[in-house]
Structure formats: C-alpha cells, structure tokens
Amino acid sequence: MTMFDLFKIKKDSSKKSFQLSELIEILQDGVCITRDAGELIYLNKAAYFFLQMPTNSDISQINFFQAFINDPSQIKDLKEQLEKQGLVRNQELQLKTQENKILEVILTANILGDYRQETFGYLFLFKDITELKRIQHQLLQTQKLESVGLMASGIAHDFNNILAAIIPNAELIKISSAHGDSNFKRAEIIEKSAHRASEIAQRLLTFTRQSDHRNYETLNLNKVINESIELLEHGIPEKVELVRKLHSSLHLIYGDASQIQQVIMNLVLNAVDALPKGGMIEIRTENYLINNYYQVGSLDPGEYVRLTVLDNGVGIPLEIISKIFDPFFTTKDIGKGTGLGLSVVYGIVKGMNGHIEVSSKLNEVTRFDIYLPIEPKSDLESQDIEKEVYESKNMTILLIDDEDYVLNILADTLEYLGYDVLKFNNGKAALDYVKSFHNKLHYAIIDLKMPEMDGRDTSLALRKIKPDLKIIFTSGFDDHPITDENMIGVVGFLKKPYTINQVKKSLKEILSNE
C-alpha cells in the first residue's frame, strides 16, 4: 500500500466523520456524549435547546447524571443497567433543565467502549415527550371526569325525583296549617332543607355539563368580571390585593352571564382561601388565537378569549392537582366546603365548549387558564313577546310519571291550582286511555326518563292519536328536547324539583305563548 492509498483512506474517513457530525447536529432529538464519570464532552443543538443551555456554555464541568436527571434513584438504576447490559433502550424518565423545568423524555443510552472490560464514556439519545404526556394526562382526566359525570347526573336525577315529592308536600302542609302551628314550622324546616338539597343536585348537573343554553347572550367578559368583583369586594380580606389586567379590545363571547359570574367568583374565592396570610390575586383577559401548531386541550383552531386567575398563595400539591375538578373533592375541613366549587367551574366551561387548565408551584403561584370561544358572527335577536296569561279553568292535563310519589304530589299541586288531572304511571296505560277518551285533553305533562316506554316515545304515540295535544316534558335532568325537530308539539319543560309557585308560573308562561 502506497502513501497515496493511506492518504485517500484518511481523507474518506474524515469526510464520513464530518457527514456523521453534521447529521447528529441536525437531529431533532437530543444527543449527549459524556466521560465514564458523567462529565459532558458533547451536546448537539437539540440537546442545548431542550436542556435550556447557551450554546457557548463550558460543558466540561457539568455532570450529566448530577445536573440533568431529576430523580436521584434513577441515576443508580441507569448506571446498573448500563454496566450489566451495555445499553438502555426507550426508558421513560424525567430530565431537569438548567432553568429547573421538568422534561419528560424517552432515553436510549449506550456505553462507549466494552462494558465487559473498559468503559470510557456514554452516549445518550433522548426524545422530548413532555407535550405528549400532557395530552395523554388531559385525555385520561377528561375520560375520568366524564365517567364521574355520568354517575353524578344519575344521582342528581334520583335526588330531584325525591325532592319533587318533598317540596310540594311541605308547601301543602303549610297551606293547610295555621301560621304559628307546630306542623307549619316543621314543614318550613323540611322545605328549607329540601331547597338546600336541590341546590346541591343542581351543582352536580352543572358539573355534568347538562346546562340550559336558553339564557345565553352576547357578553363582554370584562364587564362580567367587573360586576363579579363588585359583589366580591366586601368579602375579600384587606390583606389580599386584587389586581385586574383586562384587555381593552376584548372579543365578545356567547354565554350565560350568571354562570360566568359563578366561575369568576368560585375561582377568586378559591384563591382567597389559598392566601391565609394575605397576598395577591390577579385576573387577566386577552384575545387568544389557537392554530394547528399548538394544541390547547381538544379545542378546534380559532379565536378565543382567555381568562386567567392566578394567586401567590400556598399552591396545590402535585399529588392532588389532578383531582381538584372531581365532585366533592375538597381539602377543607368537614363542614367548610362541599367540594363542588371547581367541579361546577369545570362543567360551566365545558358547557360553553371551552377548556380549563391549572398549574401550580407550592408557595409560589397557582394559575387557572380558561379558554372560551368568541361569539359567532351572527345577529342574535330577542323574541320575547308578552301575551295574555291563559287561565286554567276547564283545562284537563294528562300526567304521566313512573314514580308514584312524584305523580301523586304533582297531581295534587295541579288540582290545587285549578286544573283537572288524569294521572298514569306508565306510557302504555295512558295510551290505552287516550285511544278511547281523548276529546277533552288539552295538555300532557310527561316524565322523560321512564322504563319500557320513555317520555319521547310516549309523546310521539300520543300525538298520533291526538295530533293537537300539547306536550310538556318534566325531568330531574336539565335536558330540554323542545328544540329537537322530531319533538313536534313539545311546548315546555318543567324542571324537577319544583315548588307550587314554580309549577304555576311555568304553566302560565307556557300556556300564554299558545
């Protein structure tokens, strides 16, 4: 072999080495090379970026194991695997950047040298999966909350059915008793307790996102925030500073002002509880554009309004932060909280097709970010027209509910209000009657959730016999099938539980629009 041949081999080798070096530099995964004790020899551009290090850093004094592996116990495990096998493949662990940010990564590592004889260093290749893990966590959290929501809505429905019998009965006892009588006082206690239970059931339904959109309107979020703060100011301790940073040209949104007010008040009061020694609460608003390059939850790309509420209080421990939107979860002492505040916030935001995120550092900052879609570009016209109230004289109502105690008390309530009532505890029995005697029927009040033949099927079958029959649905859920195009003839909805006055008012409103 001549000197020329040797020079050519060396030149080819240098060229390949240069090409390999260029390839490593443009990799999107981080590459680290260290000495056998862990001191850094080389980082590619991606590694500098992920580890938040300036590219001109003196890396020779930095130990990869000590500086960047977040969990000390994982250092020992990693070294043992490398010593035994010479390599580690696709191991999930956490790296800590120079700015103390935690990275979730998949790590592959190889020994440089012969692990059975002499090791002179390590090669680490890592892929950043932080965003992927965040999305996976959000998905699991959403699935968990949906499962809890289904259970909660079922409980609330049963609760409301029971209360639908208790409240009117208590009222009828009061009506038939003298004002100072002991029965009157007992009925009053029952009534107040039942209303408190009804409020809890309604919060459960709000969490499950079965909310009524009929109160939605075009809103300026800044205005709702200012109105909410006016209501809250007297209840906020002097040692807590409330700061507002509201965008002056904020997009309009479409929602229920009272529900959004509830969101703001719950978040602010939650922040106050996190500031027992005082501190600062900040409320911000801004216009926010979501595009295809950065995902926020499962929101579609588009224009949103972001509401941020943050405080510098005690913070939320990492082990419970994933539970804070669960119904009845609370860290407060028994009797000091229902654990429904944040679950209601979650339900309202989801009901508006929005998204909520929370982040927290103990004793530093807790931040809630809410993303709400902006108002659709359409004119929203009010169609409220006052009409004469229809009188109840000589009007017969067909009443169908599978719960006998609810059926009987609603029948008593309607009769007390002056209506004639025909009652049945299932759709089939009602249909058999209507086939023979339907001429004098004007309206039907039908429970939506019934076994065998539910309210929708019963309604459709009744209108085949009597096409002009007007239907009013009732339910312990917040579902309103009035807008369902298949539900022709449905004119109203009566939400359980109800008071006598609520039944009277609802029926007058429904009948006056006919």
Same domain? For 313 and 287 the reply is yes
Domain boundary among 207, 223, 252: 207
Q: Give pLDDT tens digits along the chain (514 positions).
A: 333 343 344 444 454 555 566 777 878 899 999 988 889 999 998 999 999 998 888 888 899 988 898 888 888 888 888 888 888 888 889 999 988 888 999 999 988 876 556 667 889 999 998 888 877 776 666 666 666 666 666 777 777 778 888 888 888 888 888 777 888 888 888 888 887 777 767 666 655 554 455 567 889 999 999 988 887 877 788 899 999 999 989 999 998 887 898 899 889 988 998 898 999 999 999 999 988 767 788 888 899 999 999 999 999 888 888 778 776 556 554 444 444 578 888 888 988 889 999 999 998 999 999 999 998 753 333 323 233 334 455 688 999 999 888 898 899 889 888 888 999 999 999 998 888 776 678 889 999 888 889 888 999 999 888 888 889 998 877 655 555 545 677 888 888 888 888 888 888 877 776 6
Instruction: Report yes or no on 273 lying in a domain.
Output: yes
Among 128, 145, 173, where does a domain finish? 128
Please give the Cα distance from 365 to 356 (Å, whole number).
Answer: 17
| Stretch (H or E) spanning 74 | helix 72-85
296 in the same domain as 223? yes
Instruction: Look at phi and psi of residue 90 and say left if phi exceeds 0, alpha if psi is from -120 to 50, else beta.
Output: left
Phi, psi of 73 (to 5 degrees): -65, -25
Reported as type and span, the H/E element at residue 84 is helix 72-85
Kindly report the number of other CB atoms within 10 A of residue 504's CB atom: 17
Last residue of a domain, one of 128, 154, 183: 128
Hey, how many other C-beta atoms are within 10 angstroms of the C-beta on 99? 8
CB 102 within 8 A of CB 70: yes
**252 assigned to some structural domain:** yes
- Residue 194 and residue 270 share a domain: no
Helix (H, G, I), strand (E, B) or coil at 284: strand
Alpha-carbon span 96 to 396, nearest angstrom: 73
What radius of gyration do the chain's Cα atoms show?
33
**CA pair distance 90, 462, nearest whole angstrom:** 64
d(CA 365, CA 512): 54
* Residues 320 and 402 grouped into a single domain: no
Question: Are the beta carbons of 368 and 285 closer than 8 angstroms?
Answer: no
Residues 97 and 182 in one domain: no
Instruction: Please list, in sequence order, all residues whose beta carbon lies within 8 angstroms of the beta carbon of residue 299, skipping any fewer than 6 positions away.
Output: 290, 354, 355, 371, 373
Is residue 33 within 8 A of residue 42, CB to CB? The reply is: yes
